[in-house]
Each structure stands twice: as structure tokens, then as C-alpha cells.
Amino acid sequence: MAREARPLVFLGTPTAAASVLSTLIAHGFEIVHVVTRADARRGRGAGTTPSPVKQVALDNAIDVSHDMSWLAENSHSELLGVVVAYGRIIPGAILAHTPMVNVHFSLLPRWRGAAPVERAILAGDAQTGVCIMDVEETLDTGAVFAQREIDIVDTHTTETLTADLAILGGQLLVENLSAGLSLGVPQHGEATYAAKVKTEELRIDWKDSSVQVLRQVRALRSFTVLGSQRLKIITAEATESDVSLSVGQCDESGRVGTGNGAVRLVAVQPEGKAVMDASAWLRGRSASEIIQFS
């Protein structure tokens, strides 16, 4: 098939979507319009900040809107929509006139939904990947044009894995648009849903195994509680499995007991303070203090 000749309208917001947009621009695809979320407020009287996608569009003199009004007025079959982490369902009235493809960060039908990267890490998946898929009114159910896998390693966090998937997704999208989209293959197999992460999921339950605690830290940068203060766990690592610590107890070296084994804190963020090495945080505690997380 021939290279995709239709001009593109791009829908997305976060850094990962901006990465894909930049890849399309670098490969010479015509982007006629970008739809992204409204600018974020930075604080009282501090103005607003454009989304990463909007910043790329502005840097490349591409028109931008913050809702579907432009598409509602300009939808037609000579446009192709590209959706990456847009975060909203595309109305059927628009899809009826403008076909769209989505770069989704999982191997569908596993992890349909809002948080596929977080859920893959939390579940201990050995692999994930990206799919180029047809956009339908229902969530992440469309036919798949192409997919590519990537291994999930123990050092992957949500941020680093998302960045890797964005690069992979941009490459795969360019390859498929350059060659011309093939016929999509209907999704098959058992579907799983990647629900948006809830606030209550961010708190570490030290009764979980050390393996699960480490997954939670990598996926969510979770927090624990000491007294009445939150302590965000930025990074942690595996440690000796025979450590004699009670559940939630932290020793002078930063090892914390779990329901099965222990983990070692590497970087933390005390409430109201900057990220710091766990060793520096521990040096600031009283030598006689028993550190018991809850």
C-alpha cells in the first residue's frame, strides 16, 4: 500500500503523546491541527502551562484547540486522526466522518483502559508493548493494525517504561503510515481492564510481599505513613530475604520488613520536602527512634 497521504489531526496531552507527535513531525507527516487538554494552572497568580503536546504544536506553528469543536466543524474522510493518551472518548458523530487510529501502550486486549503501564508493572507482566489500533466509540476495542513487544525489566518505572513505549509507538506508527495501514485484525483473547489508579492504591501495605511492594513503588511511587506524616517512597530495591524485621519496621540501613522478606529504601520524599537519599533521611532521625511505618 502507498504512504498515508491524508493530512493528520493529532489528539493527545502528556509527554508520551508529545514524543509521538514529534516523531511524526520529524518524518514529514502533515499535521493540520492538534487537540489537547486546556492549559494547566500553575498556582495563584502564576498563569498557566501548556500541555507537552501543545508545546510541541506551538513550537512547530501547528494550530491547537482544547476541545472537539474544530473536529466537529472540519470532520471529513480526507483527514486521519491520530490519538495518543488523549484521555477522552471520541464521539461517534466525529468518528463517522473522520477515521482515527490510536497508539495504545499495551498488547491488546490485555490492559484496555486508562492505566495500562501501571497495571502491567503491578501485575508483574514480563512483557508489554504498543498497538496501533482503530478507534471505536467503545474503549480500546478496535481492530489492531500492528503491534510490537517490549520486555519489562526490574528497573522499569511507570515513567521510564512509558517513555520507552512512546518511542516504540512513534516508530511503529511511522512505519505503518509510511507503508499504508493494512487491514486491522480483530482483537482476540481475554480482555483485562486497566482501571485508573485510585488514591487508596498509593498507600503501601507492608503486609504484602517484598516483590509486590517493589512493584507498587515502581508503578505508583507509593507512600507510607510514619506517625502523622506521609513519606513517599521514590525508589526501593530488593535486599536479603532473611532479615528479621516486623512488618513495616525500618532499620538503620533503610531495610523495611514486609509480609514476605524485606526491601531497602533508596530514595524518599518526606511530606513538604524535596526528594532525598533514604540514607540522608535516616541520618536525620533520632538514633533511639524505632521507625515503624503504618
Q: Residue 1's pLDDT is what?
A: 56
Distance, in Å, from the CA atom of 94 to the CA atom of 83, rounded to the nearest integer, reads: 13
- Reported pTM: 0.93
Domain residue ranges in the chain: 8-194, 199-292
Q: Residue 2's pLDDT is what?
A: 62
Helix, strand, coil percentages for the chain (3-state, nearest 5): 25, 30, 45
Q: Residue 41's pLDDT is what?
A: 81
**H or E element: which one contains 33?**
strand 31-35
| Helix 158-179 and helix 210-220, axial crossing angle in degrees, nearest 10 | 60
Give, for all 294 residues of the chain, the pLDDT tens digit: 567 778 999 999 999 999 999 999 999 999 999 999 999 887 666 688 999 999 999 999 999 999 999 998 987 788 999 999 998 889 999 999 999 999 999 999 999 999 999 999 999 999 999 999 999 999 999 999 999 999 999 999 999 999 999 999 999 999 999 998 888 999 999 999 999 999 999 999 999 999 999 999 999 989 999 999 999 999 999 997 777 899 999 999 999 999 999 999 999 999 999 999 999 999 988 877 889 999
CATH annotation of 199-292: 3.10.25.10
Please, how many CA atoms are within 13 Å of residue 119, restricted to the half-sphere of its CB?
18
- Answer yes or no: same fold for 8-194 and 199-292: no
Q: Residue 288's pLDDT is what?
A: 76
Q: 8-194: what fold?
A: Rossmann fold (3.40.50)
